[in-house]
Chains A and B, each alone.
Chain A
């Protein structure tokens, strides 16, 4: 077993070189580099937790803003609805008013037209009576040689016209 057989010859070399290389490892790697690696890890962990906190805060803020927006939106909608309703009633009233005005104009025009028609009919009827009385008198004077009283002819014609 070389570990025991060579012990006397090699122990000092083993101890010396182990202390040299383990010492180097401890001071350069352990003391020099490991704290930097650990520091990086700690920094990353801190950054992650900070980011998480910031994200949580942003989420809360977003929620609050959404809530505020919702409230604002609701009032806006209600206002808009009120405006629309008001506009609708106003428009309906205006339409009614205008319709009524138009109706009255139409009514007066209708009445006027009816008057005119009645007048025209009357004057036409009078003219027809005149023409019929004249024609009757002419026919009677030519055929019977009678000269009839104008008023008598007219009343007879009127009677006949009325009774057909």
Chain B
């Protein structure tokens, strides 16, 4: 397997702190963006990114390179995000007795799409993505933003390859249908 990070990983496994810092610098953007996309809040995303890398460091001696380093890191990130989201949901349920409060978090803050795009059809597309069910948002993020292959997504989410493709296709169809509804094309 040709992993561009393999050398850094090996040096970090041997205890090289400079390599570890470099490995973190190289991959923190992916972790932060995935966490932000799932949790919808910059502070939560930063806290979780920190937690993910501490977990990664603890487990690093046991990483044998069976998959690409980033695929392994995505697995840790996705699990940590979904755990955090479940725990946030429980806290919110306790505090407000409202199960849909967490779903409101992404729209409570202007996201990367809002920062980067003006109010046109692309912005509408991001808003439509935000409204998709979590499982669809997750595969879209992994495929389009994190640029993982179908196979890698299946590995990260421990889903059959067919299910990953089906989720992606349903998400694309849902978005295309939403574009039609708002009169685009």
Interaction A to B: no
